[in-house]
Amino acid sequence: MATISSTGIGSGLDVNSIVSQLVALEKTPLKTLALKATNTQNQISAFGEIQSQFAALTDVASRISVASTWGARNASSSNTSAATITATGTANATSFSLDVDQLARSQSGSSAAVAPGTMPGAGTLTLQLGTWTAGGAAFTPGAAASVNVTVLATDTISDIASKINGANAGVVATVFNDGTNERLLLQSKTTGAAAGFRMTVADADTTNNDNAGLSRLSFDPATVDPLTGLASGMATAGIPVQYAQDAKARINGLAVTSATNTLTDNIPGVTIKLVATTTTGYGLPGEVKSPLTMAISEDVTPAVKNVSDFVTAYNKLNKSLTDLTKYDAATKTAGLFQGDSSVVGLQNILRNMLGSASLGASSQRLSDVGLERQLDGSLVINTAKLSAAANNGTTLQQLFTNDNKDPLTNGFALKFRDLGRGVASSGGSVKNKAEALQKNLDNNTKEQTKVNDRAALFETRLRKQYSALDAQMAQLNALNAYVTQQVATWNKSTA
């Protein structure tokens, strides 16, 4: 008997159509699952926006919870050629006079001129940092230990300069060439009276304070040549010397000194850079002062920007939560999270926090500084009230940054910062909701796979059954044809 190769041939039934329809009925649950999957995917996307906006609000709150982000000051000098001024947020708004009497400077000196390549002689140079009295009459060593530099008989001025620099003695050595001769120049690395230096010599010729041998490079005005009774070496008369000195100024007539030309510790939060003297004949009977006026005023720009950033971030999140939880009666459309307890609960927490108080400041509620809540939960800035608060010292800053060690009464920046960190942390409501939505989508995918697997098995079973039916019908049809033929033949033979 021939093999049936296509289901339905033996039975004459449209088996493919029958099977397709029965399988389609078996897959009916997929429509519901697909709709649920689409809705869940939309919820995941929408909640991702909520997470992003909540993180943005948390970032703003974290940034403005630090007092330093609120303080800004405008600082000005009436003569920037003589002194400049800058101020941090900790500085008080004020003004004061400044006299620049003396600038800080380093010590410098040079040797007498010698022919290029000259080798002064062997011995040891000893460098010591300290303070000279006026004119080099006496030297007081500083706390740092003296440094010895060994000089060989074959060392040139250039070699000696390299050795001094390599000794890290607080002095910089340079070789100056005037086109004909060379000089050894020495300068202390820093400014200030205590940055002076003395350089004594242990000369190989055993005479340490004359103008011969290595002694030509000494700098010790307090020690004189026994033959001439005069200072020798770099302190020889006629060789220019600059002694180190502190900066001296007067703020509102009060004397201040500094080892550098930058004053930083005299007024909290204020830095003054001295550029040129303003006092003529300082310390002399006929001195003439030309004081500067230094002014510091509050800059409210950062404070207003902080509040504006907070309102913008909050309103964006509030609008998303409102749109996703509302019911539109006109279109009879529900938001993706209408009635969702976790999302509605988050919305309520934010709004309740908005209406809470911050203790420790003269303004305790956001409405006190012009942040007015609307019926839809959003915030609108009352510019006049905000401007008044911003110009009222640190009132606005305290409302946001006060740390009372109590989440209920802390400043609003701390409240929203801590809330954001909590709900986004492991186990927090935002993270839990996001994980729950993803789990729902994963389960939906598994259910769709199960329905498709069941339908595939059902189709296989149906086609197997119809194949068996076709085989039986083919046999019956063949038997029927045979019987019919035999009856017809029998009828002819008996006619």
Query: How far is the C-alpha of 87 from the C-alpha of 71, rounded, in Å?
Result: 10
> Given pLDDT bands bounded at 50, 70 and 90, which one contains residue 13?
low
> Scanning the structure block, which residue is given the tokens 């009459």?
137
C-beta separation of 206 from 214 below 8 A: no
> Global pTM?
0.64
Question: Has residue 421 got a pLDDT over 80?
Answer: yes
Q: What is the pLDDT of residues 232-264, one digit of tens each?
A: 888 888 899 999 999 999 999 999 999 999 999
The answer to whether residue 191 scores a pLDDT higher than 60 is yes
* Separation in Å, CA 456 to CA 23, 31, 300: 8, 17, 71
What is the pairing mode between strands 292-298 and 94-102?
Answer: antiparallel
**Residue 335 contacts residue 324 (beta carbons within 8 Å):** yes
C-alpha torsion sign, points 128, 132, 138, 143: negative
Closest C-alpha among 349, 251, 232 to residue 296? 251
pLDDT of residue 3: 41
pLDDT at position 289: 95
pLDDT of residue 4: 41
pLDDT tens digit string along 293-332? 999 998 888 889 999 999 999 999 999 989 888 888 888 8
pLDDT confidence of 7, banded at 50, 70, 90?
low
For the ranges 41-50, 129-138, 344-353, the lowest mean pLDDT is seen at 41-50
The sign of the CA dihedral 276, 281, 285, 287 is negative
User: pLDDT band at 1, cuts 50/70/90?
Assistant: very low
Mean pLDDT is lowest, of 139-143, 160-164, 177-181, 387-391, for 387-391
Banded pLDDT at 413 (limits 50, 70, 90): very high
Mean pLDDT rounded to a whole number for the chain: 87
User: Among all chains, which residue has been given the structure tokens 């309740």?
Assistant: 352
Rg (alpha carbons) of the chain, rounded to whole number: 47
* pLDDT score of 127: 97
Task: Judge residue 488's burial from the number of C-beta atoms within 10 Å of its C-beta, 0-12 exposed, 13-18 middle, 19 or more buried.
Answer: exposed
Taking a C-beta distance cutoff of 8 angstroms, is the pair 20, 483 a contact?
Answer: no
Residue 205, pLDDT above cutoff 80: yes
Reported as a single tens digit per residue, the pLDDT across 352-385 is: 999 999 988 788 999 999 999 999 999 999 999 9
- Ranges 56-65, 75-84, 146-155, 467-476: which has the least confidence: 467-476
Cα 196 to Cα 46, 73, 129, 282, 373: the distances in Å are 70, 37, 6, 22, 66
| Residue 218, C-beta contacts closer than 8 angstroms, at least 6 positions apart | 125, 199, 200, 201, 208, 209, 232, 233, 234, 235
What pLDDT does 273 receive? 98
Does 65 score more than 80 pLDDT?
yes
Q: For residues 208 and 251, give the distance between their C-alpha atoms in angstroms, rounded to a whole number.
A: 46
| 453 CB-near residues (< 8 Å, 6+ apart) | none
Please check whether residue 156 is in contact with residue 167, taking contact to mean a CB–CB distance below 8 angstroms. Answer: no
Measured CA to CA in angstroms, residue 122 lies from 151, 436, 465 at distances of 5, 86, 117
For 419, how many CA atoms within 13 A lie in the half-sphere containing its CB? 26
Residue 221 has pLDDT above 80, yes or no: yes
Residue ranges per structural domain of the chain: 31-68+301-432, 73-104+246-298, 108-235
Among 166-180, 191-205, 324-338, 465-479, the least confident range: 465-479
Q: What percent of the chain has pLDDT over 90?
A: 52
* CB burial of residue 389 (10 Å; 0-12, 13-18, 19+): buried
pLDDT interval class at 139 (50, 70, 90): very high
Cα 73 to Cα 433: distance, rounded to the nearest angstrom = 44
Residue 89 to residue 18: CA distance in whole angstroms: 83
The single residue listed with the structure tokens 């509102």 is 252
Q: Write the secondary structure of the chain as one string of H (helix), E (strand) and C (coil).
A: CCCCCCCCCCCCCCHHHHHHHHHHHHCCHHHHHHHHHHHHHHHHHHHHHHHHHHHHHHHHHHHHCCHHHCCCEEEEECCCCCEEEEECCCCCCEEEEEEEEECCECCEEECCCECCCCCCCCEEEEEEEEEECHHHCCEEECCCCCEEEEECCCCCHHHHHHHHHHCCCCEEEEEEECCCCEEEEEEECCCCHHHEEEEEEEECCCCCCCCCHHHHHCECCCCECCCCCCECHHHCCCCCCECCECEEEEECCEEEEECCCEECCCCCCEEEEECCCCCECCCCCCCECCCEEEEEEECCHHHHHHHHHHHHHHHHHHHHHHHHHCEECCCCEECCCCCCHHHHHHHHHHHHHHCCCCCCCCCCCHHHHCEEECCCCCEEECHHHHHHHHCCCCHHHHHHHCCCCCCCCCCHHHHHHHHHHHHHCCCCHHHHHHHHHHHHHHHHHHHHHHHHHHHHHHHHHHHHHHHHHHHHHHHHHHHHHHHHHHHHHHHHHCC
pLDDT at res. 252: 97
Reply yes or no on whether the pLDDT at 5 is more than 70: no
